[in-house]
Amino acid sequence: MTKMSGAEILVESLLKEGVRDMFGYQGGAVLPIFDVLVDKPINFILVRHEQGAAHAADGYARSTGKVGVCIATSGPGATNLVTGIATAYMDSVPIVALTGQVPTHMIGNDAFQEADIIGITRPITKHSYLVKDVKELARTVKEAFHIARTGRPGPVVIDLPKNVSTGETEYNYPEKVNIRSYNPTYLGHPMQIKRAAKAISKSKRPVIYAGGGIIISGASEELLKFSETTNIPVTTTLLGLGGFPGTHPLFLGMLGMHGTKYANLAITESDLIIAIGARFDDRITGKTSEFAPHAKIIHIDIDPSAISKNIQVDIPIVGDAKRVLQELNKIVTKCDISPWHRKINKWKREYPLTYKQNEKLKPQYVVEKIYEVTKGRAIITTEVGQNQMWAAQYYKYTRPRTLLSSGGLGTMGYGFPAAIGAQVGNPEAIVFDIAGDGSFQMNIQELATAVQFNLPVNVAILNNQYLGMVRQWQELFFNKRYAYTSLEVSPDFVKVAEAYGAVGIRVEKKEDVTPALKHAIQTKKPVILDFRVEKEENVFPMVPAGAALNQMIEGMA
Amino acid sequence: MKHTISVLVENRFGVLARVSGLFSGRGFNIDSLCVGETDDPTVSRMTIVVRGDERVLEQIIKQLRKLIDVIKVSNLTKEEHVERELVLIKVSAMNKKRAEIMEIVNIFRAKIIDVDHQIVTIEMTGDEDKISALIELMKPFGIKELVRTGRIAISRGGR
């Protein structure tokens, strides 16, 4: 058999894994890899900062369900990926990050552009590999993709010393993966499923609390069936939005810190919570000792370590959300809970999600119009902060994989490169990054990427000239002392767009919102929409950090 | 409370860092950690002794199980098991003291493995209490150097 270089083996292995799109940046230690890559049928997207590559791979993965792949050189290239890897880790996103490394004989010598990226990323990866021998490379790639996409997905780093990329060996791509210590549990325990069904049939005030696991396991249809069969209302986490139709009468909206009041009241008064693919994050539970005080808790999750981590669970079911719901759906029946529905509907009427309309341009209004103009069919990414919460509250997600947001890590600068990744993975889709003026500037350089690769992403900047969410906390909890949250000096975003060869539109009046959005989605270029919104608008309702879920601050009162 | 955790892992570079990182990342100090190859050279066994809050420990054990290189984790504290440590103590043993030291060594069923005009080196295995008792008794003679392995442990019976 003829021998191949490590770089050739790597790229062939990627092709075997079905990789057709990739994001990354050149550099000394990865030169041999790019030299091979340029001739292969992989659509390579050259970003302008490695962090953009990691987020783009993440957005690609979240929007398509495939593994996202990014590559960076050794040292600073690799360390620039770190925030993106951590973001993917917190939200269980399957990405494979390839990093160059100095040659094996120089590792540990403080060589030029050397960083121990395996050490640096150890707590933020599902697994990682330093490939020390080219003979190990094909198997490593096979394992990395397997680990990234199975079980609770997550990022995997493969560190590739330059002499491994240039070294030669015979190429055999393994057919199967055999990792004795890695066998995720997919099927729920039948006894536990029966116990859960029994508890469901007895409950009077049940609520389904669904998380990102629904979307990851492709369980939205099963969830819909489960909810409709049992007649149990559904609330979701931020990452669960789209996992259940946002327009459905049984939908309660998002719960937690900026959830709807009726979702939070329902949780608080519930006698049975069915948590599916969610992990009782502190932004969801509020004060844990007062979380759902009357409820029994069923928890379906593929990750055993998520169970009873923050909240004690009564009926744990370790398994894949889709498989477990399929089994549950065979045995559950309609719950007789009309008084509960009456109560919830009353809350829905009394405490609707709303904001004060006036002649000013409100950020919530912009989000509502994005929903209208795109007919709810866009892929939405968000940055982090107020823009993220308004995007969650005022856009109704009806299909999975249409909201991409950094929920766990809360990474500002995520949304724009993630939108680029989503557009690459879904060339026909309308993609909107709902951004803040602060967050957008954290990866603004990716405008060049979007322009170069003809990616017609739309960025809707809800420009309030503040780090809005932090300013909101200062207003509410720090006596309105706006320490270092004002961004009064920002570039002219319209001119920035034009300078990069994109299109820029400034919108200052309500009546101009819809025409501007329509124009944007018809434009086949990246568009930056600079919405000059009311500066001191707040996100409500709000549960202050550490308070119980029913202790909400409301804006309208 | 002290916990003895036994972990079977792939015998590879980097595994120890992954395991210990789970403890250090949560501010847990590891009291002792012993690693050695098992009868299968591809597998090592780590015996880890930690002190800490039960709930946090439960979480660490679950996280340990999630590590790709970890094959099996058991919390031996929760089952019948045998624990041993090994200690080597270099004690000053001039003239008349020597007989006295020898006597204690015999009582403890320890061994003298090295000797010269100034010192004797004692080897002993036992559980933590026994080792500590020997150390206490040797202190008055003047301990020149001491090394103990930390705990290794194995479950009782045919499990």
Give residue B26's pLDDT: 83
Q: Do A273 and A390 share a domain, yes or no?
A: no
For the question of residue A162 being annotated catalytic, the response is: yes
Answer yes or no: is pLDDT of A531 > 70. yes
Q: Do A200 and A113 share a domain, yes or no?
A: no
Average the pLDDT over A56-72 and give the result.
98
Average the pLDDT over A103-128 and give the result.
97
CA A244 from centroid of its chain's CA atoms: 16
Q: Do A446 and A332 share a domain, yes or no?
A: no
CATH of the domain at A268: 3.40.50.1220
Domain that holds residue A384: 363-532
Answer yes or no: is pLDDT of A130 > 60. yes
Give residue A277's pLDDT: 98
Contact B62 A127 (CB under 8 A): no
Give residue B159's pLDDT: 60
Give residue A554's pLDDT: 86
Which tens digits make up the pLDDT trace of B12-43? 999 999 999 998 888 888 999 999 999 999 99
Contact B21 A126 (CB under 8 A): no
Domain end point (choices A327, A350, A373) = A350
**How confident is the prediction for chain A on average, in pLDDT?**
97
Q: What is the DSSP string of A359-375?
A: SS--HHHHHHHHHHHTT
Q: Do A327 and A450 share a domain, yes or no?
A: no
The active-site residue, picked from A16, A66, A106, A113, is: A113
Angstroms from A122 CA to nearest CA on chain B: 7
Answer yes or no: is pLDDT of A557 > 50. no
**Percentage of residues in chain A with pLDDT exceeding 90?**
98
Angstroms from B23 CA to nearest CA on chain A: 11
ipTM value: 0.90
Answer yes or no: is pLDDT of B71 > 70. yes
Interface of B with A in 52-71 (CB under 8 A): 58-59, 62-63, 65-71
Q: Do A130 and A56 share a domain, yes or no?
A: yes
Give the pLDDT band of residue B78 (cuts 50, 70, 90): confident
Closest by Cβ to B18, choosing from A122, A303, A304: A122
For the question of residue A50 being annotated catalytic, the response is: yes
Contact B65 A305 (CB under 8 A): yes
**Percentage of residues in chain A with pLDDT exceeding 70?**
100
Angstroms from B34 CA to nearest CA on chain A: 21
For the question of residue A112 being annotated catalytic, the response is: yes
Q: Do A155 and A218 share a domain, yes or no?
A: no
For residue A74, is it within any domain? yes
Give residue A556's pLDDT: 55
Which amino acid is it at B101? I
For the question of residue A113 being annotated catalytic, the response is: yes
Q: Do A110 and A10 share a domain, yes or no?
A: yes
For residue A554, is it within any domain? no
Answer yes or no: is pLDDT of A474 > 80. yes
Cβ(A371)–Cβ(A460) below 8 Å: no
CATH of the domain at A433: 3.40.50.970
Which tens digits make up the pLDDT trace of A167-210? 999 999 999 999 999 999 999 999 999 999 999 999 999 999 99
Give residue B123's pLDDT: 97
Residues of B within 8 A of A130 (CB-CB) are 13-14
Q: Crossing angle for the helix pair A220-230 and A321-331, nearest 10 degrees? A: 30
Contact B18 A119 (CB under 8 A): no
Question: How far apart, in whole angstroms, are the C-alpha atoms of residue A78 and residue A85?
Answer: 10
CA dihedral sign of residues B87, B92, B93, B97: negative
For residue A495, is it within any domain? yes
For residue A181, is it within any domain? no
Contact B71 A122 (CB under 8 A): no
Return the beta strands (E) in A82-146 as ranges: 95-101, 127-130
Which tens digits make up the pLDDT trace of A19-36? 999 999 999 999 999 999
Q: Do A396 and A344 share a domain, yes or no?
A: no
- Tell me how many domains chain A contains: 3
Q: Do A263 and A405 share a domain, yes or no?
A: no
Give residue B20's pLDDT: 93
